[in-house]
Every structure is written in structure tokens, then in C-alpha cells.
Amino acid sequence: MTNRRDFLKKAGVASAAVGASTLAAPAVLGQSPIKWRLQTYAGAALAAHVVKPAIDSFNKVANGEMVIELYTADQLVPTGELFRAMQKGTIDAVQSDEDSMSAPVDVSVFGGYFPFATRNSLDVPVLFNQYGLKEIWEEAYAEVDNVTWLSAGSWDPCHFNTTKPVRSLADLKGLRVYTFPTAGKFLSQFGVIPVEIPYEDAEVAVQTGELDGMAWSGITEDYTVGWADVTKYFLTNNITGAWIGSFFANSEKWDAVPPHLQELFRLCMDSSHYYRQHWYWGGEAKLRTEGTKLELTSIPAEEWKQVEAAALTFWDDIATKSPRSAKVVEILKKYSATMNKAGAPYR
């Protein structure tokens, strides 16, 4: 009995110690949380859909251990300087395409709208997860100091919304449009004049006559950000079926994040990718059929084939830029051939 009493006394002391330790644990959470500043390429109205829901979820589930502050287009630094600012640690993370922020990697030309690389939004996750683009992107960014590429997802297709109707290739000549660098380079052969200005200035530039429109998005985005209020026409032909955008982080900041929060961030990126897919996809159909602000126009399919043929020549030119670019183009050709052979509903 004496031994039993001694055991119970010692057990009580041990239990109290464990209890004190357990109660003390939240004090760790009470310390200053990890804080990140993430800037997106998107303006405020668009960011509310393409990134904010995922960041809000992350901050909620991180439960005080980490907080991500979200900034929209050009709030902290101009979009063209996003990469360098992240590399230096001025900002901690970025959501953008490589093309817009001039990422110094050979795959940057494929970010954003690479002509006819995709036809539907699901093409992007399939290309990255089943056709090897994920490994190629990881390899490319491993050669860059202090930037970690995290994940790619799809956005909307690339259409023209303009103040003038476009019903033939001839109507493209002389159009001054806000667009992405690579898309602009491709479209210039058809007489399009690409103009690069800050995202939030595009709407005013149309109103003042500096721009004739945009070749930047699908119709969902046109209505969401206000571009449908200043343009009159929407061209149903697109030059790419889905924009390729990614999440990136400063490598030092990313490596300092505990594994469980890294995994949480990955899950939230996937959530963001999924939200965008159904939000854009549903909006494209609904606003084409029910929208009242933009008149739909089309270039005949036979004439549009000239643009599709020009894209393949453009691909071959890009393939000569580096062995890795050639590998990406080879994958795109293989994927395109597979999808065309598979037929409906894929193409």
C-alpha cells in the first residue's frame, strides 16, 4: 500500500507537469506569427475571385501561426518588377504569369498566353501534372537565385474586347490593344499594336482613346473588372484557351515556413486553381448568352486557320531559343495531337 501511495503521488506530480506543459503550448502560438506579403498581378475586382478566397482560407486555418497580407496589381511594386522584388525579399510571394513580370527563365515565354498552347482550362493541370511541365518548371527555377516556383493553374481564355467590331483578320490591323508581351509579339504580325500599361490604367486608356480594347481575358473578366462598360464588342475567336499563371515565393522565406504550413499553402493553391476553373468556365457561357453589354462577333473559321497555322510557326521559332524551350514545344505538340485524335469532347 505504501508503494502504491508513493506511485500515485509521483503519478500526480507527473500528471500535473504534463498538464502544465500542455497548457503552456498555446504560448508558442501566441508569439509573433510568420507574416508574408503576397502581391498578385490582378486588380482588386479580379483578385477578389482569383486569389482572395484561397488566402482568406489559409489565414483562417493557419490559426495565428502565419498571416498572408494580400496586395493587388501594382500596389507595392509595378507588375514588371514583381520577380526582382520577390527575389530581394521586398515581397514574400507572388501570383502571376512569368511573361508579365519578366521572369529570367527560358520558360517564361510559355507563362500567360502562349498562342494556342491550350484550348480548355483543364489542359493546364494536365500538361503540368501528366505531361511533365511541372518538372520542367522546377528545373528552370532551380537555376534562379532565391525564387521558388510553387504551382501553376489555369485562368480564362484570351479574347479581344474592343470598341470597334472585328469580323475579319483585316479588322485587326491598327488595333491598339492592352495585352501580354508574348501574345502581343505574336499578334503584331496581323497588324495588332500591343500596348503595355499598368493593369488599372487599361479601362481609362480605352475611354481616352489611347486603346481600342484588350486582348487580355475572357468575357467573365471583362464584366468583372469593368472593361465591358467601356468596350462594345467581344470576339469569339480566341488565341489561347487558358492563361497559365503560377504562385512563387522567395526561397529563404519559403524554407523558413514549417512543413505543415507549407502543405496548407499547397492545399490553398489547389483550392484557388479549382475555384478559378469553375468561376471562369461558367461565366464564359453565361455572359455570352445572357450578357447585355458586349455584342459578339466572329472571324470565319476558314480565315482563322491562318492564325492557327501562324502559331505553329511561332512555336518552332521559340523552340530554337533553348533546349528546354524545345522540350516544352515538343510536349505541347504531343499533347495537341493526342487531344485532336481523341476528338470530342476534348476538341
Q: What is the mean pLDDT of residues 216-238?
A: 98
Q: Quick check: 153 and 273 in contact, CB under 8 A? A: yes
Answer with the one of 250, 266, 286 that is the final residue of a domain. 286
**Model pLDDT, residue 180:** 94
Secondary structure, 3-state, 235-247 = ECCCCECCCEEEE
The Cα 133–Cα 152 span in angstroms is 10
Calculate mean pLDDT across residues 74-91: 96
25 inside domain: no
CA distance 129 to 248: 17
If asked whether residues 165 and 314 sit together in one domain, one would say yes
Residue 185 inside a domain? The answer is: yes
- Residue 3: inside a domain: no
Same domain, 44 and 58: yes
- The larger pLDDT score, comparing residue 275 to residue 32, is at 275
Domain annotation covers residue 6: no
Q: What is the mean pLDDT of the chain?
A: 92
Distance CA 49, CA 235 (A): 24
Contacts of 25 (CB under 8 A, 6+ apart): none
Q: pLDDT digit string (tens) for 157-216?
A: 999 999 999 999 999 999 999 999 999 999 999 999 999 899 999 999 999 999 999 999
Please state, in angstroms and rounded to a whole number, the distance separating the CA atoms of residues 68 and 161.
Answer: 34
pLDDT of residue 347: 67
pLDDT at 172: 98
Regarding whether 170 and 78 lie in a shared domain, the answer is: no
Report percent pLDDT > 70 for the chain: 91
The helix/strand/coil state of 67 is strand
What is residue 32's predicted lDDT score, i.e. its pLDDT?
87
Q: Is the pLDDT of residue 231 over 50?
A: yes
State residue 165's pLDDT score.
98
- Together in a domain, 236 and 303: yes
pLDDT of 29 over the 70 cut: no
pLDDT at 293: 98
Domain count, the chain: 2
For residue 228, the 8-state DSSP code is G
Nearest of 275, 286, 272, 166 to residue 220 by alpha carbon: 286
Same domain? For 237 and 310 the reply is yes
Amino acid at 298: S
- For residue 265, which amino acid is it? F
pLDDT at residue 61 greater than cutoff 70: yes
Question: Which residue range forms the structural domain that includes residue 106?
Answer: 33-156+242-286
What pLDDT score does 188 carry?
98
Q: For residues 269 and 187, state if they share a domain.
A: no
Domain identity same for 140 and 260: yes
Are 115 and 236 in the same domain?
Answer: no
Residue 4: is its pLDDT beyond 60?
no
Residue 175 in domain? yes
Residue 11 placed within a domain: no
Shared domain check, 118 and 54:
yes
pLDDT at 71: 98
Selected residue with higher pLDDT from 23 and 200: 200
Do 111 and 64 share a domain, yes or no?
A: yes
6, pLDDT greater than 60:
no
In-domain check, residue 64: yes
Asked if 229 and 322 sit in the same domain, the reply is yes
Residue 107 within a domain? yes
pLDDT of residue 344: 84
Whether residue 5 has pLDDT greater than 50: no
- 141 & 228 share domain: no
The pLDDT tens digits for 122-145 are: 999 999 999 999 999 999 999 999
CATH number reported for the structural domain that contains residue 248 in this entry: 3.40.190.170
Q: State the pLDDT at residue 256.
A: 98
| pLDDT at residue 22 is higher than 50 | no
Count of C-beta atoms within a 10 Å radius of residue 231: 24
Q: What is the pLDDT of residue 30?
A: 54
